[in-house]
Structure formats: structure tokens, C-alpha cells
A and B are shown apart, each in its own frame.
Chain A
Amino acid sequence: MNPLLEQFLSEARDTLEAIGATLMELEQAPEDGELMTQLFRLVHTLKGNSGLFEVPEMTRVLHAGEDLMDAVRHHEIGFSNELADRLLDAMDHVASLCEDLEAERPFNASTAADTQKYVSALRALMPQHLDADPDEGTSPAPPEPLPRPAAGRLAQLPEALRMSACLAALQATPGQALVWGCYQPDDQCFFQGEDPLHLVRNIPGLLWADVAARQDWAPLANLDAYQCQLSFHWLALTDTEALATHFRYVPDQLRQCALPPLLLVLPQGDPNGGPVYEDFVHDALALLDAGDRSGLGRAVRSMLELSNAALWLSSALRWLQSLLQAPATTDEALRALILSLRQLQWPDWSQLATSAQPASSPQAVPPPVAEAPQTGGLDAAHTPEAVAFRELLSVQAEILSLPDDAQWLTGRIQAASGALGACLRANGREDELPALAAATAQALAEGRSAPLADWMAEAFAGAQGELQRQATAPCPDSGQTAASGSVRLADATHAEPPAAPAATTPEALALQASGASPADLEARIERRVEDHASAKSLKVDQVKIDRLMNLIGEMVVAKNAIPYLANRAESVYGSRELSREIKTQYAVINRISEEMQDAIMQVRMMPVSFVFQRFPRLVRDLSRRLGKDVNLVLEGEDTAADKNIIESIGDPLVHMVRNSLDHGLEMPEQRRAAGKAAQGQLRISARQEADRVVIEIIDDGRGIDPEVIKFKAYEKGLIDEATLERITPQEAINLVFMPGFSTADAVSDLSGRGVGMDVVRTAIERVNGSITLDSVKGQGTTIRLSLPLSMAVTNVMTVETDGQVFGVPIDMVVETVRVPSTSIRGIKDNLVTVLRGRVVPLKSLNRLLGLAAPPLANDNDELAVLVVRLGEDYLGLLVDDFHETTDIILKPLGGVLGGLRLYSGSALLGDGSVLMVLNVKEML
């Protein structure tokens, strides 16, 4: 998951929570304009952010919410509890969309339909005049399902295409069906970068499409080519899911309907003097009645061979031929087609069509608007009651046909029996109830459903044919209802919500969306509870983290006491065994505490991008102002370091970047003259090296001229004449870190006030970092910062002098050596020795600390020398003895001792004693 999305999701969660809370408050104080504005702003922000991602559904819901709140804000409508309810529901939906996004679940059509429901529910509350706001891209009402196209319209499609489409649809795999659609792009869609033609060309399973103008074209001279006036009609063999996905950005501009394949069967051609095919019709019907399809096929073929291909008759025969290829074609369809030859008129497919629909035909869109299953044509009874009755029977038949091995079989039989009893009573057939009871009793006694099923087949024989027909080609809706129905009856604990009642008006949809059914409500509440359990990131006060840090610090100290204990066990109590056991235990505790420390460090880690992110803007603005052309390259932005470190380098980095831009990089003309690319490059990179973070700022500008620096420094009296002569180029460059140094001739508002690099160095050193500067004249400058990953734990070397123990930060220590006193020479007042071909000045730590005792030598008359690094120089400290290195939590000295700059802080040692940590630089 990309970081942007991660951030969005975490923000979205917060915002949604805030929206919820604000809505609650508003319910208490509906007149509070301030709160309303706040709410509006929250929703507005979230909407804006959602636009960055591929979540048009979320944007749509939020857009609707935003419009609504805008209306409330401007007192166009009042705040009501209902409004709050719908908003809360919509926000829950947004939360679930967020979850989908997080789980990277692919888009699915039912979510889109839900979205539409929530949008409509919100829009339904809008005052009417705002509803039709032309500026808004989204249409207020969900698109109505498209009426089925008239036969005349379909006949415009080429016959061959219709024929193949019809055949393909009749043999289509489940889930696929013919869809007839109309897509009317928005007038302004070209300005939003849409290409409707491209969208149409890529409709999944597209069979045919045409395009037409919505109205007559303006005269060419006045034509606005960029106002979309097109409307597309298309026919596709596809599944609704894929279609909804394809049009997910413009669902409101799409209208569609399922097209029963038979509607395409429209013979065309020359009537040739009228209907004179009674002989053929008669023969064909006879063959059909006899069930002899192959015979019919032969008859059709021979008739076709005799007829002129342009005739209406031939067209009808071709259709017959192709329909005969599809096993799914019903006799009724064939019969109607044959009979049409009598009048040479298109058969009235709308009667037959639905019954011959394949099992999987999609429902009209939007999905909640389920078409009531129609079985018209064959059965006169298609009142809702009759339909429901048939469904009920089919469900019972299905239940009873289930395998008998379920342990809840008894309950199942009783449930079916109860339902059948109710059916009988509803039809006024109470006298048959005893028979039902007997069959039920028998079924229960035998432990199988068959007796009841047999009774049912007999008692409802009238409806049985219907049932069987449904079994071979069940209507999709009744199939679905049957499924959910049987679940409901068979296992009440898994109750599914009842099939949504047909609803087409926005109000009805709104009611649905606001969740009338209790089961729905319960599910939603449950979801809400789950929502709260799934927060992934925490916002924690830094104080708490600091406390953890301190605690782990104490833990480390306490842990360090254990080895002392082990030693005591051995030396004082003489138990070597116990000592070993303590040491083993110590190893375990040590490991855990180290891991713990590491984990807490991780919490405090922040990527350097936190600091880096301000640079693109800064560089852009500055380079614009200076008239320079600069390409900024950021690298290693996800390198992480302790929060304090990251925060402390922000200002120094900005300062250095400014310096590079102002002094380092030249104007484009100068660069060209110097043979460089006109565009300068500024590279800021971060990387981790062992336990340090290294940040480099590299420019390819004019570099630093050591000569210039030297003389500037001399002019300002920062160095004397002797130094001026002696100084190396590198040392000269380092003079820029001297306080009060500035090279710029004029003080600009960017840099050059002479408070620059020394401040930078101080800031970096405050967090135990170091800074180095390399520059090649004419080629550029490299500034390198090296920072510790974390400040919390300091590794120190402990040394002993005059009976006291002191700590020296290990990163200052170069080496520890024993130097024979004979190799120590005095130069004037100073002691020096030669170590590895290098003259190292020696200082006695006792002297530096004002202790009178001389350094102690060991038995071989060797002195302990702790060699430390001071900038570029080495210095040897004469001490009495070396001890181990240890991890400590360095605490700065406070109060009266705060003024002692000799010490950088103190720490507790494992044995409870206090260790003073020396600040070697300050000591000299």
C-alpha cells in the first residue's frame, strides 16, 4: 500500500469519527452554526482527499453529504434527526468503503448499488431547487432502468449480428446475459478528460453499439466541438458486475435493461405478396408437436433452399434454423415464430420472452429494483399473490427435496408442513389439512421428507407443472427468493434479510437506505462495533512514549545490577552454582530488555522525509526568486531516526540548503560559461550507516575557494597572519564554521548574516552529530552530517582516575593504549608521545579535573592513555585504569550542577553508583 493511501485511510478514520461526534453534538444543539460549519468542513475535506484515489463511490456519497450540509448551513433546510441518521449511515458506508480499500478488495457492483442508495437517501432530503443544480456533475436521482427497446429499434441491428447475439445469449454461461444500454455522457465530460467512445468500445462483451446526436447540430460556424451531444446505445453479452465496474465513474449517465434474447428474433425482408405459407406452417407445427426438432430442421432447410434469400420468409426460416441449434429454445418460441409466417408479422415476444429467459439473466438496474418475476403468457395468474404462492410452493418443494441426512430434518419437515398448511388455508382448502397432517406424521415417523413431498406433489398438482417448468428454467428472482427463503425456514439463526421490496421512487429508496428492517440495523450496529476494534494506528502523546523510554532506561540500569549480584554470590557467599544461574538468567533478561529498548526506539523513529518534504517547495521558491535553475533530488527519504534527532536537524538543513542555493549554485549563464549544464543539481540524500544516519547535501555549484575564505577570515580578525600562512585548504574551508564568519559581500534576505554555519554546527553537535564539509572549487560542495540514530542510550567507556570512575562517550574514543613512561616526552609544558607515527599530546585527567594525584603507572611502568578524537586532532588522556564499556541513559545535569560544562551528564550504574560522563571538548 502506498504511503499516501495509508495516510488517507488513517485520516479518513479520524475524520469519520469526528463527523460522527459532531453529528451527535449537533443533535443536541441543532442551531449551532459553528458546529455545522465544522461538520461541513470535515466532510468537504474528506471528499477532497478521496478524489485522489480510485474510489468514485466514496467521493459520490461524500459529495451528496457535502451538498446536503451546505444546504443546512445556508438554512435552506433544517437539521433534523432523520438527516443525522442518514448522514451517519452514509458515513458508516464510507467507513466500509475505506475498509474495502484497505483490504484491497476489488470493486463490486453491490457496493456500488449500496452507494447509489445512500446517495439517493441524502439527495432526497435536498430542497428541490438545489436538486437540479446544473453545476454539479452528479445527477440527483439514480438512473431509471431503461425501458425495453421497441422491436423497430432492434430491427435496425444487422440480422446476422442479432442472430449470433441471440444464439450466444441462449447458450450463455450463468451470470451472463444480454444487456441493452443507453449511455448519455455529460455535456461537459470532455473537459473532465473522459472519452465516451473509448468507454463504449471497451464495454465488456460488447456486441453492437451506435452513436447518435441528442439533438440537431448547431450550424457548423457556431458548433461547440467540446460540448458533448452524443448518446450511445449498445448491446452487450455480459454480467452486471463487469458492467457496473466498467461504468463505475459515470453510473448516473448509464441506463440499461436486460434484454431477453428472443426480442432479437425479428425476421425482415420482402413480404412477396403476403402470407401464403399455410402449408409449411401446418407441417412445421405438426413436426413441432411431435417433438421432432430434427425433422423440423430439415423442413426449414429445404424450404429455405427454395426461397429467395431477400424474402421475409427466408429471414424467418433462418431464425428458425438458428433457434433450433440452441437446446434452450422452448417449443413456444418456435411455435410463435412459425405462426408469425401466417401474418408476416413479428411475434409478440414480450409475452414469451421472460419465460424463455435463461436462468441467469440479470435484473434490471439498479439491482434493488428487482423485477417481480413474471411468468405471463402461459399462466393467467400473475397477480403478486399468485406469484408469491408459486414461489412459496417451489421453496417448499426445494426444501423437501434436500438430502435427508441433516440432523435438523425434523424441524425442516415441520417448517415445510407449517408453510403448506398456511398455503392451504390461504386458498380456502382447509378440508385438506388432515391429509397434510397425516403426511407430515408419516414423514416424521420415517425420518425422510419423501411422504410429505409426495403429498405436496399431489395436492398442488395444478401448480406442479409450473414448478417443474420453473425448475428447468427458473426465473432468476424466484430462484433467489427461493434460496433465501429456504435458508430462512430451514435455519432461523441464519436469517437473511427479506428480499428487498420493489422500490423505484427516491423516497422509497431513502427509506430503504435509512434501514427500516431490524435485521439490517443489527448488522450495521455490529459492523460499527467491529469498526472500532480495527483501528490500526494510535496517536499517542509523546509524554507517554518518553515515560516508556525512562522506564526502559531504569530497567537497563536495574538489569546491569545483576552481574554485580552474581559476583557477590560467588565472592561473598561462595556459591559458584548460584552465580552461574544468575548469569544465565541475566542473559535472558538482557535479551528481552534489549528487544524492548529496540521496540521503544522504533516507536520514536521518524523518517527523514518529515524534514525533507519541505525542500521541494523551498527550492522551487528560492530558485525562482534567485533566477536560478535548480533540479532538486531527494534520496533515502524513508531513512528513519529518533524523533528528537529528526526535529533538531530541520532548521540546520534549511539553512544549508539556502546556502547552497544562494552561494553554491551559479546563475545559468555562469554555469554555461563554465561548461556545466545550465540546470544546477542539488542532491539531498539520507542513508543509514551502522548506527548513524548520514545526510549529505551535494551541489554542483561553484564550490568554496579556500583562498577567499582564508582572507575573509583574516579580514574579520578570526585568524591571525601566522595562521593565514600556515592553514591547509581543508582547514580554510572549515573556517566557515567559525562564529561570525560570512563570505557574502551583501547581506541578502536569504543568507549571509554571518550567523550561519557555526549555528548549524552547534545544533548538530547538540544531538551528538558531526558535520564535515568538502568542496572542490568550481565543481561543487558536499556537506555531510552524521547523526546518531537515537539519543536515548549512550555507550560510554568507563575509566578510573584517582579512585573515581568517569565515563567518556565511546564515539569519541579512538583507542586505549598503555604507553611506557619512557616514551613520554615533554615539549615545553606539554607531554607528548608518538603513537603510530603521529604526535599525540597528552593531558592528565587528574590535572584537568583539578585533582592533585599524579597518574598511576602499572607494574611495568606504563601509563594508561585514552586516546580521544577532538575534531581532526587526537588527544591522549592519562588515566589510572580502564574499565568496561557500558550502555547508559545519559541524564543532563540539572539545577546548580547545570552550570558545570565539564560534564555532559550523569547516569546510574548497575551497582547503584553515579557515573559522571565527561564532556572532553569543554574540559580543555
Chain B
Amino acid sequence: MALEFQKKQVLFNGVVGVEEAENLLAWLQKKPGASADLSACEHLHPANLQVLMAAATPIKAWPADPVLAAILQSALTAHPSIQEQ
């Protein structure tokens, strides 16, 4: 399973595909304030990223891949979103 929903946390495993975004969104809508653990994530489709961004989900752990982690951190850590300049 690419997404593993726990009580208050969702685990991202391996490559998380585009079709998971729907489930993720539904789950986060039910569980506001839930957090995400990306440590086992190798790649996630940006649709999932959008959901995490929109829900302002706190991230418990970042992916091991430094490039992916850096990109995700830019979007998911709490700094004001940068508008197109």
C-alpha cells in the first residue's frame, strides 16, 4: 500500500501515485490535524503534494532522498507561500 492510514498519521511508502490523492484528500478532510510521515517515500505525485499543502499537514519525517526532501520542505514547511514574481 502506498498510503497507510493510521490513527492520526498517514505513512507514505515508496512511490505514491496520482490515484492516491483522492484517498488522501478524503482522509484528511475527515481527520483535520493529522500528520504525515514521508520517511519511506521515494516519490509522490504532485497531486498528493497539493493536498498536503492545502491541508497544511504537519510533516513528521522527511523523505530520505535529499532532492525530494528539499523540494517538499520548500512547500510544506511553514513559510508564507511565495507568489510568482
Q: Mark B49-74, 1 if CB is under 8 A from A, else 0.
A: 11101110000000000011011101
Contact B84 A201 (CB under 8 A): no
Q: How far is the CB of A202 from the nearest CB of chain B, in Å?
A: 9
Contact B43 A226 (CB under 8 A): no
- B residues contacting the other copy or chain, number (CB 8 A): 32
A233: nearest chain-B partner, CB-CB: B82
A207: nearest chain-B partner, CB-CB: B67
Chain A, range 706-756, C-beta contacts under 8 Å to B? none
In the docked arrangement, what's the CA distance between A196 and B18, Å? 11
Partner of B18, one of A149, A190, A206: A190
Q: Does A217 make an interface contact (CB < 8 A)? A: yes
Partner of A153, one of B49, B55, B75, B85: B85
Partner of A198, one of B29, B43, B50, B81: B43
Chain A, range 218-237, C-beta contacts under 8 Å to B? 218, 220-221, 223, 225-226, 228-231, 233
Neighbouring B residues of A217 by C-beta, 8 Å: 50, 53-54
Contact A208 B70 (CB under 8 A): yes
Neighbouring A residues of B44 by C-beta, 8 Å: 197
In the docked arrangement, what's the CA distance between A201 and B45, Å? 12
Q: Does B6 make an interface contact (CB < 8 A)? A: no
Partner of B74, one of A153, A206, A212, A221: A212
Q: Does A200 make an interface contact (CB < 8 A)? A: yes
Interface centre among A149, A185, A226 (most CB of B within 10 A): A226
In the docked arrangement, what's the CA distance between A649 and B69, Å? 63
- A residues contacting the other copy or chain, number (CB 8 A): 35
Contact B21 A212 (CB under 8 A): no
Q: Does B4 make an interface contact (CB < 8 A)? A: no
In the docked arrangement, what's the CA distance between A211 and B81, Å? 9
Contact B74 A220 (CB under 8 A): no
Contact B43 A197 (CB under 8 A): yes
Q: How far is the CB of A216 from the nearest CB of chain B, in Å?
A: 8
Neighbouring B residues of A201 by C-beta, 8 Å: 43, 67-68, 71
Contact A200 B74 (CB under 8 A): no
Given contacts A195-B18, A220-B25, A220-B29, contact A211 B49 (CB under 8 A): yes
Contact B53 A225 (CB under 8 A): no
Q: Mark A143-182, 1 if CB is under 8 A from B, else 0.
A: 0000001100100100000000000000000000000001
Contact B29 A213 (CB under 8 A): no
Neighbouring B residues of A230 by C-beta, 8 Å: 46, 49-50, 75
Q: Does B28 make an interface contact (CB < 8 A)? A: yes
Neighbouring B residues of A197 by C-beta, 8 Å: 43-46, 49, 71
Contact B84 A231 (CB under 8 A): yes
In the docked arrangement, what's the CA distance between A190 and B68, Å? 19
Neighbouring B residues of A220 by C-beta, 8 Å: 25, 28-29, 32, 54-55
In the docked arrangement, what's the CA distance between A914 and B72, Å? 89
Q: How far is the CB of B73 from the nearest CB of chain A, in Å?
A: 8
In the docked arrangement, what's the CA distance between A393 and B68, Å? 50
Contact A223 B75 (CB under 8 A): no
Q: Does A507 make an interface contact (CB < 8 A)? A: no
Neighbouring A residues of B71 by C-beta, 8 Å: 197, 200-201, 209-211
Q: How far is the CB of A832 from the nearest CB of chain B, in Å?
A: 79
Given contacts A201-B68, A225-B22, A231-B84, contact A218 B54 (CB under 8 A): yes
Partner of B51, one of A150, A195, A211, A223: A223
In the docked arrangement, what's the CA distance between A206 and B71, Å? 11
Neighbouring A residues of B68 by C-beta, 8 Å: 201
**SS of B interface (majority):** helix
Partner of A226, one of B21, B55, B85: B21
Q: Does B3 make an interface contact (CB < 8 A)? A: no
Neighbouring A residues of B82 by C-beta, 8 Å: 153, 156, 210, 212, 233
Interface centre among A195, A197, A228, A230 (most CB of B within 10 A): A197
Given contacts A197-B49, A201-B43, A231-B84, contact A225 B74 (CB under 8 A): no
Interface centre among A200, A218, A225, A229 (most CB of B within 10 A): A225
B25: nearest chain-A partner, CB-CB: A225
Partner of B29, one of A196, A208, A221: A221
Neighbouring A residues of B18 by C-beta, 8 Å: 190, 195, 226
Q: How far is the CB of A197 from the nearest CB of chain B, in Å?
A: 4
Neighbouring B residues of A229 by C-beta, 8 Å: 50
Contact B84 A213 (CB under 8 A): no
Q: Does A527 make an interface contact (CB < 8 A)? A: no
Q: Does A469 make an interface contact (CB < 8 A)? A: no
Contact A213 B43 (CB under 8 A): no
Contact B85 A150 (CB under 8 A): yes
Contact A225 B50 (CB under 8 A): yes
Neighbouring B residues of A196 by C-beta, 8 Å: 46
In the docked arrangement, what's the CA distance between A197 and B81, Å? 17
Q: Does A214 make an interface contact (CB < 8 A)? A: yes
A214: nearest chain-B partner, CB-CB: B84
In the docked arrangement, what's the CA distance between A196 and B71, Å? 12
Given contacts A201-B43, A220-B29, contact A225 B84 (CB under 8 A): no
Q: Does B40 make an interface contact (CB < 8 A)? A: no
Neighbouring A residues of B49 by C-beta, 8 Å: 197, 211, 230
Q: How far is the CB of B39 from the nearest CB of chain A, in Å?
A: 18
Q: How far is the CB of B64 from the nearest CB of chain A, in Å?
A: 14
Q: Mark A450-468, 1 if CB is under 8 A from B, else 0.
A: 0000000000000000000
A215: nearest chain-B partner, CB-CB: B83
In the docked arrangement, what's the CA distance between A229 and B50, Å? 7
In the docked arrangement, what's the CA distance between A185 and B49, Å? 14
Contact A228 B81 (CB under 8 A): no
Contact B74 A210 (CB under 8 A): yes
Interface centre among B29, B44, B53, B54 (most CB of A within 10 A): B54
Chain B, range 8-46, C-beta contacts under 8 Å to A? 18, 21-22, 24-25, 28-29, 32, 43-46
Contact A195 B53 (CB under 8 A): no
Contact A211 B75 (CB under 8 A): yes
Partner of A195, one of B45, B72, B85: B45
A211: nearest chain-B partner, CB-CB: B75
Interface centre among B24, B28, B46 (most CB of A within 10 A): B46
Q: Mark A765-799, 1 if CB is under 8 A from B, else 0.
A: 00000000000000000000000000000000000
Contact A223 B84 (CB under 8 A): no
Q: How far is the CB of A526 from the nearest CB of chain B, in Å?
A: 45
Contact B75 A210 (CB under 8 A): yes
Contact B53 A213 (CB under 8 A): yes
A185: nearest chain-B partner, CB-CB: B46
A191: nearest chain-B partner, CB-CB: B18
In the docked arrangement, what's the CA distance between A406 and B56, Å? 71
Given contacts A211-B75, A212-B74, A213-B81, contact A223 B54 (CB under 8 A): yes
Q: How far is the CB of A136 from the nearest CB of chain B, in Å?
A: 22
In the docked arrangement, what's the CA distance between A213 and B53, Å? 8
In the docked arrangement, what's the CA distance between A208 and B83, Å? 18
Q: Mark A477-521, 1 if CB is under 8 A from B, else 0.
A: 000000000000000000000000000000000000000000000
Q: How far is the CB of B10 from the nearest CB of chain A, in Å?
A: 14
Chain A, range 121-153, C-beta contacts under 8 Å to B? 149-150, 153
Neighbouring A residues of B54 by C-beta, 8 Å: 213, 217-218, 220, 223
- Some 26 contacts from A to B, beta carbons below 8 A apart, are A149-B85, A153-B85, A184-B84, A195-B45, A197-B43, A197-B45, A210-B70, A210-B71, A211-B71, A212-B81, A212-B82, A213-B75, A217-B54, A218-B54, A220-B28, A220-B29, A220-B32, A220-B54, A223-B54, A225-B22, A225-B47, A225-B51, A228-B47, A228-B50, A230-B46, A230-B49
Contacts A184-B84, A223-B51 aside, 16 further interface pairs with beta carbons under 8 A come to A153-B85, A156-B82, A190-B45, A190-B47, A197-B71, A198-B45, A210-B74, A210-B82, A211-B49, A211-B71, A213-B53, A214-B83, A214-B84, A217-B50, A220-B54, A226-B18
